[in-house]
Amino acid sequence: MSLTIALVLFSLCNFSLATNEAYALLRWKTSLDKQSQSSLSSWVGTNPCNGWIGIGCSNSTKNRESVVTSIRLSNSSLKGTLDDLDTWSLTNLESLNLSSNSLSGIIPQTIGTLTSVKLLDLSSNQLTGLIPSSIGNLTNLHYLYLDNNTLSGSIPFELGRARDLIDLKISKNLLTGTIPFSFKNFSRIGRIDVNDNNIFGSIPDYFANYTHLEWLDLGRNNFSGVIPTELGKRTAFVQFKLFMNNLIGPIPKDMNLTKMEVFAVSENMLYGHLPHNICASGRLTQVCACNNRFSGPIPKSLKNCSSLFRVRLQKNQLTGNISDDFGIYQELDFMNLSYNKLYGEVSSNWGFCPKLTSLHMSNNNLSGRISGELGRATRLSELYLSSNHLVGEIPKSFERLSSLMKLYLDDNALSGTIPSELGSLYNLEVLNLAKNSFTGPIEERLGECLKLRSLDLSMNRFEGVIPVHISVLDKLEFLNLSVNNLIGRLPPQLGDLKTLETMNISHNNFTGSIPSRFIEMLSLTVVDVSFNQLEGPLPKMRAFEEAPMEALRNNKRLCGNNTGLDCPTEVTNQDKESKIVKVMLVILLPSLGCMVLLFVIILGIFFYLHKKKPNDGKRPEEIESNLFTIWSYDGKMAYENIIDALDDFDSKHIVGVGGYGTVYKAELLSKVYAVKKFHAPEDEKMHDLKSFEAEIRALTAIRHQNIVKLYGFCLHPRHSFLVYEFLVGGSLRMVLSDMKQAIDFDWKKRLMVVKGIANALSYMHHDCSQPIIHRDLSSSNVLLDSDWVAHVSDFGTARVLKDDSSNWTSFAGTIGYVAPELAYTMEVSEKCDVYSFGVLTLEVIMGKHPGDMLTSSLDMKGTSLIEILDQRLPSPVEEVAEQLELLVEVAFACLKISPHSRPSMREVTLGLSL
Ligand SMILES: *[C@@H]1O[C@H](CO)[C@@H](O)[C@H](O)[C@H]1NC(C)=O
Ligand SMILES: *[C@@H]1O[C@H](CO)[C@@H](O)[C@H](O)[C@H]1NC(C)=O
Ligand SMILES: *[C@@H]1O[C@H](CO)[C@@H](O)[C@H](O)[C@H]1NC(C)=O
Ligand SMILES: *[C@@H]1O[C@H](CO)[C@@H](O)[C@H](O)[C@H]1NC(C)=O
Ligand SMILES: *[C@@H]1O[C@H](CO)[C@@H](O)[C@H](O)[C@H]1NC(C)=O
Ligand SMILES: *[C@@H]1O[C@H](CO)[C@@H](O)[C@H](O)[C@H]1NC(C)=O
Ligand SMILES: *[C@@H]1O[C@H](CO)[C@@H](O)[C@H](O)[C@H]1NC(C)=O
């Protein structure tokens, strides 16, 4: 309305240039969404040069009138399209910057009328469609930035008409085709950045004629053929990035390297030598040439290249003596030389690189001792020296490497004992000393490396017994002590290794029986105890009972169903009752540790509780005696303590309200717990209480790093609740919906969380004697701890807690996560969880529930990563992006309509660990 009035007013007035421009700008403003309009509230009246935000003017040379020459509205939260931008009226515009907004739709052909434009920046929006061919009419264009959109099609030939182009950035789009021949016309071009598109063909020869080209980024495309021999002879590049293409052949000889800062040609099929004077500029920070077929020596000029920050030369055929080839670098962060043919020593130089965090030199021909000076590199977090010919001892000075997380020294000729100083490496997660000649006992102080996940001491000459100290490593997943000279009995305390998945103690001289406490290793799946002197019964757990013959053979007298020997029966009484007991043992014992029949039993109870009428004569006082608790100490006391700690469930202790329960935070005996209270069953009679108790007890015994620990359970007529481990990080849903937390929750952490969830599901589906189905997986019941590790909550309890009792068969899932087959069948299988996992994975990647995407498009395969990534995070780096892509692929497989075509969680975890 006001616009039409304004229009009438304009037509009455003397038509000036400025009012024309004003009209064009106001028309565009009204096409934007409400919020954008309010941020352009200064755009009123008829004179844009009079304080309109983002508008710049200057006096026209012709009639000395003020005209609009620039629009600078970068990062202004504008939402809308460019369709209504009347470019005909803005012919004096020299600069149009609308970058980092939420503009969508296409770039209109009319953009070609902005003939005065020198700078056009539409980067970081959501623009789609083609780059319009009319862009070639912008013959004054110097700077063109269209990067970080979803533009498709090929680069228009007409762009070559903008001969004066200096800077061209069209990276991070979906462009395809080849570089148009018209690019030959550019005479001033300084940067060409087409990174991350799908452009193919060869690198044009005429690029070599660009005398001002300093930045060339063709990375992450599909370029093939050789690098033009003349490229870089006339001009000196500052950044030269050709990584991740299909280029073949050598690096051009005599490249002018006097300005080089970033040289990245990784992941091609390039061969020949690297330029020997690669650091001629003295400003080189990054050299990435990994995964090619380069041979010959390490470039000479790297030795004194003090600017180096990251060097990736792994997986080539480089030769030479690394003790001579490298110097001391003040800025160096990352050095990877693995998988080459390098020789020489791990010299003291590396110890004097104060910022070094990763040093990879595996699979070379290194020899000599590891210099003790390496201990000075106190920021080192990864040291990979595997598969070389190193000798001597592990330097005691390693105790200073307090940041070290991964130490790989396997497959060398190292000797001596494990220095007790390694116990100081409290951040160590992986220690691999396999295939060396270490002797002496297993160092007890390794028990102080509490973050150890993997300990491999196999194929050495370690002697003595397994120190009980190992049993405190409560994060240990992999333990290999095989092929040593270890003796003595196996310490029963090893049963405390609740997270241990693989245990290989084969080829030693262990004696005695395998402690029955080993059944407490709840995660154990792979064992090998072969070639020892062990005897007696196998622990009653799957890992042993289903172990292949090879994993048990060549012992003294191991008995059990796989060893060929029956265990002698202790009870000789042959009457019926003892037979039944035996059968019961066979059935029940293997299920300890896992929840087994929990479902069936919970179902039974629930059915029973809810079908029976509530008022069949009993009074509350009688009900009181049916207090039922499971707790590691006196049940009744725990119940009362919790009621006390929560001031009888006072609302001030509430930390969350879920679909079927309220969560409280309880501080009890100076520990913090989460208490989930749900409606008490109306009936007091506990059907099959004993077995229910047994199974809940088993559930409380589950320890898996990605499953929320259940401490106890109280079923009481007044207050019934579950007591869980309290996790400070809150739920995944909360984190994703909070701007600040979502930003902290970076891609690496997100990958880790998804893997954690997959591990938890895989464990419950496949590593228990009967699969346990979660049934209600959603972002609300994935909780995070302070290290961003995911813990899945409410496993298998969905059914019990659902307080809508009208239809007990109704599925307890959360809308938006429930597999489609549940709409027409009640068949709950693991594959329902797999579906929910797929939804959850997309949610983590997108930062929000995928919503309509799940139902709207059947062929979600075509969805590209770039379209769905959580926009609040910076785009992921190369390796992470690859992993995310894999994840999206897996997620889509999990979302298949037919449950049978979805992968199992085991397949998912195997796929993700690639
Ligand atoms: C335009 O010209 C007017 C007078 O002719 C002068 O006052 C004003 O400062 C000039 N503006 C610019 C941006 O040069
Ligand atoms: C571009 O220029 C050509 C020739 O000058 C003209 O025919 C065409 O209409 C122009 N396109 C646009 C969109 O301005
Ligand atoms: C790409 O654009 C998005 C918004 O569309 C922005 O959040 C992100 O930071 C941009 N990425 C880069 C590398 O500029
Ligand atoms: C580069 O420029 C030279 C001289 O101007 C010319 O002879 C040559 O053909 C050009 N090379 C290419 C590939 O266009
Ligand atoms: C290398 O490039 C720089 C800057 O472009 C130039 O000054 C120098 O002369 C070139 N060197 C050679 C040998 O061409
Ligand atoms: C294993 O120990 C037994 C005695 O405990 C000894 O007789 C035997 O020689 C040892 N075997 C090896 C291979 O060390
Ligand atoms: C070993 O015995 C257990 C329990 O009796 C049984 O479940 C399992 O299938 C047996 N394994 C083999 C390989 O016979």
| Residues 825-839 as b or e (16 or more Cβ within 10 Å = b) | eeebbbbbbbbbbbb
Instruction: Enter the tokens of residue 43.
Output: 């755009």
Tell which atom from ligand 7 comes closest to the C-alpha of 545: 1
**Range with the lowest mean pLDDT among 198-212, 480-494, 665-679, 742-756?**
665-679
Ligand 4 touching residue 206 (CB < 6 A): yes
Mean pLDDT calculated for residue range 587-607:
40
Model confidence pLDDT, tens digit, residues 616-626: 333 333 333 33
Cα distances (angstroms) measured from residue 224 to each of 121, 197, 343: 30, 14, 33
Please report the pLDDT score of residue 636 as a whole number: 55
Q: How many CA atoms lie within 13 A of 25 on its CB side?
A: 32
Q: Spell out the long-range contacts of 653-662 with Cβ–Cβ below 8 A and sequence spacing 24 or more.
A: 656/731, 658/780, 658/781, 659/776, 659/780, 659/814, 660/798, 660/801, 660/802, 660/803, 660/804, 660/812, 661/721, 661/801, 661/803
Which residue, among 442, 510, 501, has the nearest Cα to 706 in the 3D structure? 501
- Whether residue 64 has its Cβ less than 6 Å from ligand 1: yes
pLDDT digits (tens, 9 = 90+) for 699-752: 676 778 888 887 777 776 667 778 888 888 888 988 998 888 888 899 989 999
Top pLDDT among 565 and 435 is at: 435
- pLDDT tens by residue, 326-335: 999 999 999 9
Confidence of residue 556 (pLDDT cuts 50, 70, 90): confident
Ligand in nearest proximity to the CA of 548? 7
Closest ligand (CA of 255): 5
Q: Report the pLDDT value the prediction gives residue 130, as an integer from 0 to 100.
A: 96
- Check residue 546 and give its pLDDT: 84
CA distance linking residue 498 with residue 506, whole number of Å: 20
Which atom of ligand 6 lies at the shortest distance from residue 485's CA? 14
Rg of the Cα atoms in the chain: 34
pLDDT at residue 116 tops 60: yes
Alpha-carbon span 724 to 736, nearest angstrom: 23
Residue 500 pLDDT greater than 90, yes or no:
yes
The verdict on the CB of residue 509 being under 6 Å from ligand 6 is: yes
pLDDT of residue 805: 34
> 877 CB under 6 A from ligand 7?
no
Q: How far apart are CA 29 and CA 336, in angstroms?
A: 53
The number of the ligand 1 atom at minimal distance from the alpha carbon of 58 is 13
Q: Which ligand number lies closest to the CA of residue 463?
A: 6
Q: What is the pTM of this model?
A: 0.64
Per-residue model confidence (pLDDT) at position 698: 62
677 marked as part of a ligand binding site: yes
Instruction: Supply the mean pLDDT for the chain.
Output: 84
Is any atom of ligand 7 closer than 6 Å to the C-beta of 324?
no
pLDDT in tens, 633-648: 445 556 777 888 888 8
- For ligand 6, pick from 461, 462, 489, 509 the residue to mutate: most ligand atoms within 8 Å of CB: 509
pLDDT at 250 over 90: yes
Q: Tens of pLDDT along 840-899? A: 999 999 998 888 777 655 455 556 777 788 888 888 888 888 888 888 888 888 988 888
Distance 176 CA to ligand 3 centre (A): 21
Question: In a 3-state reduction of DSSP, which class is residue 299?
Answer: coil
* 61 pLDDT more than 70: yes
Q: Give the closest ligand to the alpha carbon of residue 113.
A: 2
Distance 509 CA to ligand 6 centre (A): 6
pLDDT-derived band at 675, boundaries 50, 70, 90:
confident
CA 379 vs CA 308, 314, 375, 404, 782: distances in Å: 17, 21, 10, 8, 33
What's the pLDDT tens digit per position in 362-388? 999 999 999 999 999 999 999 999 999
pLDDT reported for residue 611: 40
Task: Ligand 1 pocket test: pick from 59, 64, 94 the residue with the most ligand atoms within 8 Å of its Cβ.
Answer: 59
Tell me what pLDDT residue 879 has: 84
Residue 154 contacts residue 178 (beta carbons within 8 Å)? yes
597-635: string of b/e by CB count within 10 Å (b at 16+)? bbbebbeebbebbbeeeeeeeeeeeebeeebbbbbeeeb
Question: Ligand 5: residues within 6 Å at CB?
Answer: 235-236, 256, 258
Do residues 850 and 842 make contact, with C-beta atoms less than 8 angstroms apart?
yes
pLDDT, residue 696, reads: 66
| Phi/psi of residue 506, nearest 5 degrees | -70, 165
> In the 3-class helix/strand/coil scheme, how is 580-644 assigned residue by residue?
HHHHHHHHHHHHCCCCCCHHHHHHHHHHHHHHCCCCCCCCHHHHHCCCEEECCCCHHHHHHHHHH
| pLDDT value at residue 911 | 81
Read off the pLDDT band of 542 (50, 70, 90). Answer: confident
More reliable by pLDDT, 562 or 109? 109
Give pLDDT tens digits for 293-328: 999 999 999 999 999 999 999 999 999 999 989 999
Rounded CA separation 229/630 (Å): 77
Q: Rounded CA gap, 48 and 69, in Å?
A: 11
Active-site amino acid positions: 776
Q: What is the pLDDT of residue 660?
A: 58
For residue 567, pLDDT beyond 90: no
Ligand 7 centre distance from Cα of residue 555 (Å): 20
Whole-angstrom Cα distance, residue 446 to residue 672? Answer: 30
Ligand 2 residue neighbourhood (C-beta within 6 Å):
109, 112-113, 134, 137
Q: How confident is the model at residue 774 (pLDDT cuts 50, 70, 90)?
A: confident
CA–centroid distance, residue 790 to ligand 7 (Å): 34
Rounded CA gap, 328 and 320, in Å? 18
The finding on whether 86 has its CB within 6 A of some atom of ligand 7 is: no
pLDDT of residue 146: 97
Decide if pLDDT at 345 tops 70: yes
Distance 61 CA to ligand 1 centre (A): 11
At residue 786 the predicted structure's pLDDT band, cuts being 50, 70 and 90, is confident
Q: CB of 30 closer than 6 A to ligand 1?
A: no
% of the chain exceeding 90 in pLDDT: 54
